[in-house]
Amino acid sequence: MKRFIKAALNAGRRPSQPIVEQKLIRSLNLGCLVAVLLAFLLIILNGLTGYYILAVTYFVSIIFSSAVIVLQGYGHYRTARYLAVFESMAVFSFVALAYHNSVELLLLFNILTIVLLFDNPWERYSLGILNVALFTCTRLYVDTHPPLISALPFLREIMSYVVACTFLGLIIANYKKDQRHNRQLLENMNRRLKEKAETLKNLNETKEKVLSILSRDLRQPLASMKSLVALSDDVTPAEFTSFTKKVENHLDNGLLSLENTMHWAHSQMKGQEAIPEACKVNSTLLPLKVRFEETLKAKAITLLMAVPENARVHVDPEHFSIMLRNLLSNAIKYTPRGGIVSIAARQKLDHMELAITDTGIGIDPALMERLFDLELHFTCFGTENEHGVGLGLLVVKELAELNNGAVKLSSEPGKGTVVQLSLPLC
């Protein structure tokens, strides 16, 4: 039964139709179903009390109301609406003239139906005028002539008023329900629009930040390459080799900055997921040691590693490599010639703590928080004018948290810096 009622309510509705049109179709179907139910009850009542012609009239009304739903199901919307309006006029007028039971009052409610079903002003005016004229004529006849068949008892007249009020109540209830539904739809649309606007704003800010960082961090490596090319014919081979090493260092820093910036931008715009697995700490550190070997020799920096052979962490391998590479690069960059950079691993209760310590220039405590804030982020040159790596520490922090870890920074100007990276145990 529920399936049948749902099918009847949605007869003629199409997803491609405007929402307003779908609402009109559903409202007319609902009105016809209510009319069928009331007519069925009146058929039983009139049949039991001996008003057989009136019972047949309401049976005909059921047929026409059902035909309206069927016509809408086949897409004949305008025909269905005209049939609904004229059927109401005919039934209400006939019953009022034949039985004097004040049912002509429902013709007034039929005007509201006309206004709701028709958008064309000429249709509204012509059908409305016809309906008012029919009501006026019916009322005048009822007041001045006896009923065509027989008068109904006073109680039945009261029932006509009850039916009229029921129709009005259903129309108002349906209107209020549609209002609440439309308000909810509007609120949902506004919320989605605000979310999209906020997303677009964030994407735009991310784009501007990426362009700003890239333009700043790539300027020096490119300028160094240009200078190298310009001086290639004016310097000795030894000077050219020396200058080449400096340019190579600038390019390495620029490439790391580019990788950091692009990685961070991708995570902000598309999000990222960690795929943790068992990672041996030394297996990640040793290739990085080889990578930074030339830079360590150039600055005469000693790299000390105190990492147990069996030290393992549960982390995404690529993320782990990016974090260690950034931390080592920073430590070497801001440590003066002849200094020391050390890496130590210590197992705690539920995590592995990696400490990267340097004897570098340190950081003012007032500036440390800015390193992890995108809006206040800054970068500075190393002890030998090495370029910064852009969003390095910010990337480390985000990757550590993504892998259920944390990063902590402690430093004192002139005495060096300690970065503690905590990651889950394997």
116-152 residue pLDDT tens: 888 888 999 999 999 999 999 998 988 888 988 888 8
Q: Which residue has the higher pLDDT, 2 or 187?
A: 187
Range in 84-93, 108-117, 163-172, 240-249 the model is least confident about: 240-249
Answer for the pair 106, 164: CB distance below 8 angstroms, yes or no.
Answer: yes
Strands 406-412 and 416-424 come out as antiparallel
Q: Which residues of 152-187 are buried (b: 16+ CB within 10 A; e: fewer)?
A: beeebbebbeebbeebeeebeebeeeeeeeeeeeee
pLDDT tens string 332-361: 888 888 899 999 999 988 899 999 999 888
- Please compute the mean of the pLDDT values over residues 186-205 and round it to a whole number: 83
pLDDT at 380: 66
pLDDT at 199: 77
pLDDT at 103 over 80: no
Distance separating alpha carbons of residues 135 and 89, to the nearest angstrom? 9
Q: What is the DSSP string of 79-95?
A: HHHHHHHHHHHHHHHHH
pLDDT grade, residue 322 (50/70/90)?
Answer: confident
- Residue showing tokens 């049948």: 4
- Residue showing tokens 């928080």: 369
Q: CA 385: distance to chain centroid?
A: 46
pLDDT tens string 25-52: 888 888 888 888 888 888 888 888 888 9
pLDDT at 10 over 70: yes
pLDDT at 178: 72
For the chain, the structural domain boundaries read 2-193, 218-424
Answer for the pair 370, 316: CB distance below 8 angstroms, yes or no.
Answer: no
Range in 170-184, 208-222, 383-397 the model is least confident about: 208-222
Tokens of 316: 């995404």
Task: State how far the alpha carbon of 311 is from the alpha carbons of 258, 280, 307, 324, 380, in Å.
Answer: 31, 6, 7, 15, 33
Q: What is the mean pLDDT of the chain?
A: 80
pLDDT tens string 65-80: 999 999 999 989 999 9
Answer for the pair 83, 67: CB distance below 8 angstroms, yes or no.
Answer: yes
Query: What CATH number has the domain spanning 218-424?
Result: 3.30.565.10
pLDDT at 399: 84
pLDDT grade, residue 235 (50/70/90)?
Answer: low
Q: Letter for the amino acid at 303?
A: L
